[in-house]
Amino acid sequence: MEKILKISELLNKDYIIDIRSDNKEGALKELLDVICKNERITDCKTFSREIFNREKLMSTGIGYGIAIPHARHKTVKDFVIALGRKKEGLEYESIDDKPVKLIFMIGASDKQDKDYIRVLSRLMLRLKNPDFVKKLLKNLSMLSTRLLFLF
């Protein structure tokens, strides 16, 4: 029987921040500073390079004000997720050319193929709900309490 991966179990409130930077690179660096505090990432420099390489390949701005930068690498022991919010949005080269307001950064082991796809799919499915996204944008601290169970 397959384990059901819940975003709420992967996203710790200590990895949820308001983004200060006004550009994509700065926002990614802020989230990397947060996510790399997790002991599951054994080499932050390499993981950071993987995140930026993935972004060069194609923007992870999926539209609707959301980006999901992600990387699988052997320097990551297990899933780790960070979330950043920029209420006023920032340019991110999204597929819909709209500013990004929520950035979910995901790290996973290079051995977590199927689970990695499941986590990305679950997250994207959940973020298709505009009411849920509005709640996140309105009060990010709610995510770590009442809203987190919805993931």
pLDDT digits (tens, 9 = 90+) for 12-27: 888 999 999 999 999 9
pLDDT at site 115: 87
Per the domain annotation, does 150 fall within a domain?
A: no
Q: What confidence tens digit (pLDDT) does each residue in 46-59 have?
A: 999 999 999 999 99
CATH of the domain at 133: 3.40.930.10
Per the domain annotation, does 147 fall within a domain?
A: no
Domain count of the fold of the chain: 1
Using 50 as the pLDDT threshold, list the residues of the chain that sit under it: 1, 145-151
Which residues does the annotation mark as catalytic? 70
CA 96/CA 4 separation, integer angstroms:
31
Per the domain annotation, does 149 fall within a domain?
A: no
38-70 exposure pattern, b = at least 16 Cβ within 10 A, e = fewer: bebbeebeebbebbbebbeeebbbbebbbbbbb
For the chain, the farthest-separated pair of C-alpha atoms sits apart, in whole angstroms, at 44
pLDDT at site 134: 83
pLDDT at site 98: 95
Please provide the DSSP assignment of the chain as one string.
-PPPP-HHHHEEEEEEEE---SSHHHHHHHHHHHHTTSTTBS-HHHHHHHHHHHHHHS--EEETTEE--EEE-TTB-S-EEEEEEEEEEE----TT-PPEEEEEEEEE-TT-HHHHHHHHHHHHHHHT-HHHHHHHHH-GGGGGTTTGGG-
Domain hosting residue 61, numbered range = 8-142
